[in-house]
Amino acid sequence: MTGAATVPIPPRFETQRLVMRRWTDDDLAPFAAMNADPQVMRFFPAPLDRAGSEALVARIEAQFDQLGYGLWALELRETGEFIGFTGLLLQTFPAHFTPAVEVGWRLAQAAWGRGLATEAARQALEVGFGAGELDEIVSMTAWSNGPSRRVMRRLGMTHDPADDFDHPRVPERHPLRPHVLYRIGRPPSA
Ligand SMILES: CC(C)(COP(=O)(O)OP(=O)(O)OC[C@H]1O[C@@H](n2cnc3c(N)ncnc32)[C@H](O)[C@@H]1OP(=O)(O)O)[C@@H](O)C(=O)NCCC(=O)NCCS
């Protein structure tokens, strides 16, 4: 099932080190700075400019309104600093596994290497399998995105090479077009 949550999902969660919440206008500047960082965006065809970054937040917020879950803005509990997003995104582009709900993440460089993406993603999976009532959650990335694939493995997601696909939104012959798909099923306890 990839529909709207049938029970209300709180707009804000806390994990051990993070706040996961809906977006505010104060996030727009640090989010744009992060999306303009070529290192953060090295597995995407191009960085995003400020307008593209704001349009993405608008799309993210629209999905929250529609489904009750989405890509939560992440804030460090200790400092209140915005560090990126992690959450659930409904993917409807044409592919053998869509429509599907994807767990995804993008963090500013200063927040890498501390287990924060995995911590947030575990919470996102819990919401997706709990209130979201999803039977399966996927994750996808460019074949060469080792850091992201390590997060997927840490979450217990599995990769079947038969699921590999060319992302239709990446230009043909672009080196980032070949993608891997990881999957995780609803745990028996959820
Ligand atoms: C993908 C991305 C979120 C991964 O971030 P990350 O910090 O490496 O991932 P995690 O939060 O799982 O952290 C794990 C790393 O922190 C280390 N770590 C340090 N303290 C830790 C702790 N307390 N708990 C867990 N891990 C810890 C782990 O050893 C691991 O490092 P390793 O992968 O070098 O072994 C980050 O690289 C990113 O935002 N990249 C740009 C955007 C992008 O590519 N997004 C995905 C597109 S599909």
Average pLDDT estimate for 86-115: 97
Predicted pLDDT of residue 129: 95
The Å distance, Cα 47 to ligand 1 centre, comes to 20
Report the length, in residues, of the chain: 190
φ/ψ region of 60 (left if φ > 0, alpha if ψ in -120 to 50, else beta) reads alpha
Is pLDDT of 139 > 80? yes
Q: How confident is the model at residue 1 (pLDDT cuts 50, 70, 90)?
A: low
Backbone angles phi, psi at 132, to 5 degrees: -75, -20
In tens, the pLDDT along 87-98 reads 999 999 999 999
CA–CA separation, 20 vs 27, rounded Å?
A: 13
Query: Which of residues 88 and 9 earns the better pLDDT score?
Result: 88
Its pTM surpasses 0.95: yes
Does the C-beta of 116 come closer than 6 Å to ligand 1? yes
Q: How confident is the model at residue 7 (pLDDT cuts 50, 70, 90)?
A: confident
Predicted pLDDT of residue 152: 98
Predicted pLDDT of residue 6: 80
The single-letter DSSP state of residue 113 is T
Which among 151, 155, 179, 182 is the best mutation to test ligand 1's pocket, defined by most ligand atoms within 8 Å of the CB?
A: 151
The Å distance, Cα 74 to ligand 1 centre, comes to 14
Name the residue with the closest Cα to ligand 1, atom 43: 106
The single-letter DSSP state of residue 159 is E
Strand partners, 101: 90
The single residue listed with the structure tokens 């840490």 is: 154
Residues with Cβ < 8 Å from 180, sequence gap 6 or more?
140, 141, 142, 143, 149, 159, 163, 164
CA–CA separation, 168 vs 25, rounded Å?
A: 31
Share of the chain above pLDDT 70, in %: 99
In tens, the pLDDT along 24-40 reads 999 999 999 999 999 99
Q: Which helix (H) or strand (E) holds 123?
A: helix 116-129
Q: How confident is the model at residue 185 (pLDDT cuts 50, 70, 90)?
A: very high
CA–CA separation, 105 vs 128, rounded Å?
A: 15
Does the C-beta of 115 come closer than 6 Å to ligand 1? yes
Is pLDDT of 77 > 80? yes
* Pairing of the two strands 165-166 and 158-159: unpaired
